[in-house]
Structure formats: C-alpha cells, structure tokens
C-alpha cells in the first residue's frame, strides 16, 4: 500500500510542477538588469558584448529601447535583444579611482617623511605637499593608461530542474532552482 501511495504522490507532484505556468494576470516583466544597463551606458561608449552563440561583438553604443540595444560595429549597426546577450562590458579610461588611491598613498608617505624631517629640525611641509602631488599624478596617469572593462549587464542565469525521487520509505519530489 505504501509503495502505491508514494508513486501516486510522486506522479501528482510531478504533474503539478509540470503544469505550472504564468497566469493570465501575470505579465512577464522586463529584465531589471537590462533596464539598469540602459541608464549606465551613454551614446558613444565602447562596449564588448558576449553573445549567446559564444561569439564576441565589439563596437560603440548607439541606443537602447525597452527590449533592444543598438551598437555600431565596423560592418554597420546591429540591434540585439537581451535574449541574445550574455554580458555587456563598457570600456573607458577613468581618473577618479587612480586619483583617490594615488593621492592617499602620496599623503601617507608625505606624512611619514614630513614627520621625520620635523624631528630633524627641518620644515616638512614641502615633502608633504610634494609627495601627495606626486602620488596624485602617478595615480591619475596609471588609471588613464589602464583600461579595465566594467560589466554593466549580465543576463541572469535561471534554471529549474525537477527530479522525481520515489522510494518505498521516502516518497518525494526534488526541485532544484539555480540562480
């Protein structure tokens, strides 16, 4: 009796899971990550797009609509949908992060050098300001030379797997959701 009951429960659960779909009142909404990407990109930004078929597309961002994105490549404009894209990366040279890190490092060494000079009886203000300016300049220069791509869109990987685990002692259904 328990074996039949466990099979019956397992088949009923599998049928229930397999028949679940969006209701008529539940409209599938737009991808929120794609909407955020639209706000992060400006026309003319250099982008690299990893496509679903495994190829990579490079060009300049032109425009993005509610469900499409247009980029200008060397062979012409190309319009893509979010289903075709796995990842979109923006390339640009920045100076802010380098300025912050370089200025902080220069200030750190400037304070140390200034303290040593003051203990020896010299004026340490020149060393403080000079090393801070040197660190700031080196940080800005390195950040402008180094081009680190920033991912502005990554399609969410959602996968659902249904497994039926029937055992005379442990009937059940296994659901696995991968995000």
- Nearest CA-CA partner of 71 in 91, 43, 93: 43
pLDDT digits (tens, 9 = 90+) for 47-62: 998 888 888 888 898 8
50 found inside a domain: yes
Domain limits for position 65: 2-14+30-93+147-178
The total domain count for the chain is 2
114 found inside a domain: yes
Q: Is the backbone of residue 54 left (phi > 0), alpha (psi -120 to 50) or beta?
A: left
Is the separation of the CB atoms in 135 and 143 below 8 Å? no
- Looking at residues 91-120, what average pLDDT do you find? 87
- Looking at residues 99-125, what average pLDDT do you find? 89
- 7 and 59 housed in the same domain: yes
- 42 and 81 housed in the same domain: yes
Mean pLDDT, the chain, rounded, equals: 79
- 104 and 171 housed in the same domain: no
pLDDT at 109: 92
20 found inside a domain: no
Is the separation of the CB atoms in 85 and 50 below 8 Å? yes
- 6 and 68 housed in the same domain: yes
């Amino acid at each position: 009796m328990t074996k039949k009951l466990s099979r019956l429960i397992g088949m009923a659960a599998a049928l229930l899971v397999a028949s679940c779909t969006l209701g008529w009142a539940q409209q599938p909404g737009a991808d929120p990550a794609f909407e955020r990407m639209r706000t992060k990109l400006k026309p003319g930004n250099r982008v690299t797009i990893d496509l679903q078929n495994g190829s990579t597309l490079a060009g300049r961002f032109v425009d993005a609509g509610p469900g499409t994105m247009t980029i200008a490549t060397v062979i012409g404009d190309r319009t893509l949908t979010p289903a075709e894209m796995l990842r979109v990366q923006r390339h640009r040279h920045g100076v802010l992060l380098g300025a912050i890190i370089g200025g902080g490092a220069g200030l750190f060494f400037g304070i140390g050098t200034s303290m040593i000079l003051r203990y020896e009886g010299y004026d340490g203000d020149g060393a403080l300001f000079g090393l801070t300016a040197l660190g700031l300049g080196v940080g800005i220069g390195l950040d402008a030379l180094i081009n680190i791509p920033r991912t502005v869109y990554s399609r969410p990987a959602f996968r659902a797997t249904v497994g039926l685990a029937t055992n005379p002692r442990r009937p059940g259904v296994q659901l696995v959701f991968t995000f």
